[in-house]
Structure 1
Amino acid sequence: MTNHSEAAGAPGTEQVTLRNPAELAEALPYLLGFRPEDSIVLVALHRGRFGGRVRIGIPERPGDWPSVADEMARCLVSGCKRREGIPDGIVAFLCRDPKAHETGRQTMEHLRPLAQSLRTACGGLDVPVVETLCIADDHFWSYSCPVAECCPPDGTPLAASGTSVTAAAMTYAGIQVRRPLRETRARLAPWQTAAVAEQERALDAAAMALVPRILSGAPRAEIAGETLDLAQRVWRRFGHAPAGGDTLETDLRDDEQLAHDEAARLILGLQDRLTRDHAAEWMEGDEAPLALRLWRALARRCVGPYGEHAAAPLTLAGWVAWSLGDRVEAGEALDMALEADPRYVFARLLMEACSADLDPELVRRSLRKSREDRILAASETGSEGGGDVDVHGDVDSHGDGDGDGDGDGSGVGVRSGAGGVADVAVGPEGGSATGQAGAEESEESEESEDSRESSEARMMRALEAALRRRGPRRSGAGKGPAQAGAHATRRPQGRRRVGRQGSRRDG
C-alpha cells in the first residue's frame, strides 16, 4: 500500500479548486504523481483541502475486499491523525481497465461491492466517504450520485490526457504526472527476451567461478573490492554514452553496454550484505543517477532461477530513487524487492521509512558516517596491515547486524542452475561441509566488526528512532497488503535456492 502525506509536485505554491466529479477524476493522476492502474485510492479531506492518501492494487478475489477496505481505512485515518488530525471526509477512487469482452460499465458494476466496503469501513471510523468514483475505459462513474442526468449509466468520458482545464491548472501549479506504474515496473522486471538463456548461462558460470574462491578462503574484502570496482567502471561507462534522458531508450542502451558476464559477477557480488551497503553510498551528486541506471539494469538481468537475487539491486534502485526524490519508483522498486525475497530486511526497512514520508537524509547521514569511519580506520591501521580494508574502505568478514534477530545475514548464497550442480550456500555459520574455510579470516576481523557498527544497523537505529517520533507504526507496515505499491497478484518467481543453511536472511 502506498501511503502519502503530500500532493505530488510542489504543493503550497498555487491553489487548484476542484468543483465536481469530472474534475476530481481528472485530477487523480496529479494527486498521486502517476496514473494509477488496477488500484484502490483513498484521499483524505481536511477543511476542503486534500491530505493524506493511500493506494493498493485491487485484489482479484471479491472475498478479500472487506478486509482490504478495513486496512486501507485504518491506515489512512491513523496516518492523518498523526499529521493533520482526523479527516473531515474521504474521496475514494476505483481504477481498473475492463478485461477482454467487458465494457467499462460492467467493470463499474463488478466493483460496486468494493465501493460499498470502502464506505462501510470508513464510516466505521466515523469518517464519511463523500464521493466514490470508478474510472474505467476512459470514462468515470459516481457511485454516490443516482441522478442519470448528472452521472449517466454509461459513464462520462474523461478529457484527453493533458487537455482539460484541470490538467492545465495542475501543470501551471507545477504538479507533474510521471510515467504509468506498469512502465516503471517494466524497467525493473527480469528480461523476457531471447537473451535470457545466455544471461542465465553467464550467471551459472559466475557462480561456478565464485564458489571455489569462497570455499578456498579468498578474503571477503577481495571479492567485495572486485565487485565495487566493476560496478564503478560500468556506471561510469553509462555516463560516457550520449545523453538521452531517463527513458526506456536509455535502458536499452544501458543493456547494450553491460556484458552478460559483468552483470552476472555484479549480481552475485551484491548478495553480500556489506558489499551492498557500500554500493548504497552512491546516493547523491553525479553518481546517483548513473548508479540508479546500473541497479535497474542488474535487476533486469536476474532471470530464471536467479529471480531471488534481484532483491539486492532492486533495493538499491529503490533507495537511490528515494534519495533523488522519486518516491513513486522507490515504492515500486522496494515492493518488487520484497516480492523477490520477503525476508529482505534492508528493503523492508526502507519501505517503511519511505511509506512514512521520512526524510531520506536520515539514511544518507548514516551512510556518510559509515564511509567516514572506514576511511578513518584505513588511515589508522593501513591497508597493508588489516585484511578487512580495501580501496573502498573496510569490508568486514563477519557479523549479522540484521536487526531482526533471525539470521546471520552476511553469507553469500550462490547456486548453479542450468548445470545441475547442487546449490552451495556459504556463510560464517557454515552451510556446506567445507564452509569453514574462511574461519581464520572471520576470527581476524572479529575485533574490527565489534568496534564498527554496520551501515544497516546504523540506518535501522536512526530510522526506528524517527518512526517512534512520528508515532505508532501503522498495522502491517512494510509487509503483506501494506507494502508500498503492492498488487494483489504477485509476479511469479524462479525456483528458490535450496540448501541455504548458512545463507543470508536479509541479503
Structure 2
Amino acid sequence: MTTSTSPDGRKSRRHAPLRVADPGELFAAVPALLGFPPERSLVLVCLHGPRNSRLGGVMRHDLVLPRSADGGVTPVMDAAIDRFASVCGREGVRAAVALIVDDTADHEDEEYSAACVAVVEQLAEQLHAFGTALDGAYIVEEIDEGAPWSSLWGDFRFGVLPDPAASSVAAAHVMEGRQIRRSRGELVDMLAPGDSRERFLVARAVAAGVHSAVLAVDLAEAREDPDDRSRRQLEHVLWQISNLASGERLLAPEIAELWFAVANLDVRDALLALAAGDQAEAAEQLWLRMAKLLPANGRAEAAALLGFSAYVRGEGPYAGVALTAALQANPKHRLAGMLDAALQNGMRPHTLQKLVDAGYAAARRLGVTLPPPAL
C-alpha cells in the first residue's frame, strides 16, 4: 500500500522549510518525514527550491521485485510508479530523489541489481513525462546510523548514513510534537483489536443497547425539536473526550453509547471539525480506543475519524493505516473510502478543509459550539 505525507499539515506551517545538503542527510531524514523508518520500500522524496535543497512530500511503496531477471517491472511497482509520477505532475514537482531500502539487497547479484535499475529507469521515464526530473537514485539496506548507501542511477556516489535521530528534520518534527515510530508495523499494531475480554464486554453492551438506540431515533423524529437527540449526543462525545484526556477509563457501556453517537451522521460530521482544533489529539485517543474495542461497523467509524484527524495534521502514514483498518472492518464505508482514495493520490491535507468547515457548520446547526481551529 502506498503511503504519503505532505509538508503542509496544520502544525508544519509554523516552521521554516526543511532543507538537506547531501544524500546521506536526506536518507537520514526519511524516518522523520514518514513517521517510521521504511523497510523493503521504494521511497520518492520531492525537492523544491532554487537548488532542489528544500524537502517536499514523500511517497513510499512496498518494494516488489520480479522473481527472475526477465520479469521486468512487476505490475505492483508499475502501478506505484504511475501514482508517484501523477502526484508529482499535479503538484508541479520539478525534481525528486529515489531511494530503495532493502535489507535483502545483494550488490553482487547482477539479477538483483538489474531489477532495481529497471524500477528506477521506469520511474525516471514516468516522472519525466510529468515534468519532474529524477535527480538521483540510491540504495541502502537499512536507515540506521553507519549504514552504507550507494548510487543506483544518475550520479555515482556513496557514503554512510548519519544518525537519523540527530537529523535537523527529526528535531523539527519532535518540536512539532510528532512521533517517529520504530517501524510501520508499530503503526499497524496501534490499530490492532484490543483485549478480547474488553471487546466481548463492549460487543455485549452494543447488542444490549441496539433496541434502545432505535427507539431513541424514532422518538427524536417525533419531537418538535428533532435535533435534540443529536445535540445531546454531540455534547456527550465532547464530554467523554475531555474525560479520557484527564485520565478517566471508559467502561464498556460508555464505549457502546459513544458508538451509537458517532453512528449518527449528524454527530459524526460535526466531530470531523475537531481535527483542526486543540482537542485533535485528545479526540484521536478516543477514536483509537473505540476502534480497538468496537465490533466491525463501530471499528470502521472510529478508525475513519482517526484517519481523518491524522490526515488533516499531515500524518499521512498514520492516516493510511487507520483508513485501511476502517475499510477492512467495513469495505463499503464511504468516508474511509473517499479519504483513502485522496491519500493514495497524494492529495494535500488542506484539501480536507471543506470537510472541517462542514463539521463546524453541522455543530452550529445543532446549537453546539466546538473549540476553534488551532492557529
Could you state the TM-score of these two structures normalised by the residue count of structure 2?
0.72
Partners of 1:280 and 1:316 within 8 A in 2: yes
Distance in 1, matches of 2:65 and 2:258, equals 37
Task: Report the equivalent of 2:123.
Answer: 122
Cα distance change, pair 160–331 in 1 and its aligned pair in 2 (3 A): same
Task: Report the equivalent of 1:383.
Answer: none
Cα distance change, pair 162–26 in 1 and its aligned pair in 2 (3 A): same
The DSSP-based 3-state class of the residue aligned with 2:274 is: coil
Distance in 2, matches of 1:51 and 1:285, equals 25
1:235 equivalenced with 2:241 (yes/no): yes
Task: Report the equivalent of 2:348.
Answer: 357
Give the counterpart letter for 1:41 in structure 2: V
Task: Report the equivalent of 1:320.
Answer: 309
Cα distance change, pair 316–134 in 1 and its aligned pair in 2 (3 A): same
Deviation at 1:313, TM superposition (A): 0.6
Which structure dedicates a bigger proportion of its chain to helix?
A: 2
Partners of 1:93 and 1:135 within 8 A in 2: no
What value does the CA root-mean-square deviation take over the aligned residues? Answer: 4.0
Query: Mind listing any 5+ residue stretches in structure 1 that lack a counterpart?
Result: 99-103, 242-253, 376-390, 393-507
Deviation at 1:334, TM superposition (A): 2.5
* 1:327-374 deviation per Cα after TM superposition (whole angstroms, max 9, x unaligned): 443343223322332321112333445531141432222222233334
Distance in 1, matches of 2:202 and 2:24, equals 53
* 1:160-218 deviation per Cα after TM superposition (whole angstroms, max 9, x unaligned): 4434xxx1x4467x354732243333333211xxx413422431342133136527974
* 1:369-415 deviation per Cα after TM superposition (whole angstroms, max 9, x unaligned): 2333344xxxxxxxxxxxxxxx89xxxxxxxxxxxxxxxxxxxxxxx
Task: Describe how 1:29-40 pairs up with structure 2 within 5 A.
Answer: 29-40=31-42
Deviation at 1:314, TM superposition (A): 1.0
Task: Report the equivalent of 2:90.
Answer: 82
Cα distance change, pair 215–74 in 1 and its aligned pair in 2 (3 A): same
Task: Report the equivalent of 2:78.
Answer: 70
> Which protein shows a greater Rg?
1
Distance in 1, matches of 2:216 and 2:357, equals 37
1:267 equivalenced with 2:259 (yes/no): yes
Task: Describe how 1:417-456 pairs up with structure 2 within 5 A.
Answer: none
* 1:426-477 deviation per Cα after TM superposition (whole angstroms, max 9, x unaligned): xxxxxxxxxxxxxxxxxxxxxxxxxxxxxxxxxxxxxxxxxxxxxxxxxxxx
* 1:265-312 deviation per Cα after TM superposition (whole angstroms, max 9, x unaligned): 32344334333223334344443332221111111113xxx2343111
Distance in 1, matches of 2:60 and 2:312, equals 22
Partners of 1:314 and 1:334 within 8 A in 2: yes
Task: Report the equivalent of 1:348.
Answer: 337
Give the counterpart letter for 1:334 in structure 2: L
Distance in 1, matches of 2:19 and 2:7, equals 15
Cα distance change, pair 134–240 in 1 and its aligned pair in 2 (3 A): same
The DSSP-based 3-state class of the residue aligned with 1:94 is: strand
* 1:465-504 deviation per Cα after TM superposition (whole angstroms, max 9, x unaligned): xxxxxxxxxxxxxxxxxxxxxxxxxxxxxxxxxxxxxxxx
Partners of 2:137 and 2:154 within 8 A in 1: no
Count of aligned pairs between the two proteins: 339
Give the counterpart letter for 1:278 in structure 2: A
Deviation at 1:263, TM superposition (A): 1.6
Deviation at 1:262, TM superposition (A): 1.6
Task: Report the equivalent of 1:56.
Answer: 61
Cα distance change, pair 341–61 in 1 and its aligned pair in 2 (3 A): farther
1:43 equivalenced with 2:45 (yes/no): yes
Partners of 1:314 and 1:333 within 8 A in 2: yes
Task: Report the equivalent of 1:366.
Answer: 358
Task: Describe how 1:171-210 pairs up with structure 2 within 5 A.
Answer: 174-176=172-174, 178-180=179-181, 181-191=184-194, 195-210=195-210
Give the counterpart letter for 2:29 in structure 1: A
Could you state the TM-score of these two structures normalised by the residue count of structure 1?
0.56
Cα distance change, pair 214–114 in 1 and its aligned pair in 2 (3 A): farther
Cα distance change, pair 268–39 in 1 and its aligned pair in 2 (3 A): farther
- Of all paired residues, the percent bearing the same amino acid is 22
Give the counterpart letter for 1:346 in structure 2: L
Cα distance change, pair 370–324 in 1 and its aligned pair in 2 (3 A): same
Give the counterpart letter for 1:66 in structure 2: T
1:219 equivalenced with 2:203 (yes/no): no
Cα distance change, pair 130–211 in 1 and its aligned pair in 2 (3 A): same
Distance in 2, matches of 1:59 and 1:268, equals 42
Query: Mind listing any 5+ residue stretches in structure 2 that lack a counterpart?
Result: 221-226, 370-375
Distance in 1, matches of 2:173 and 2:213, equals 52
Cα distance change, pair 112–60 in 1 and its aligned pair in 2 (3 A): closer
Deviation at 1:259, TM superposition (A): 0.9
Deviation at 1:146, TM superposition (A): 12
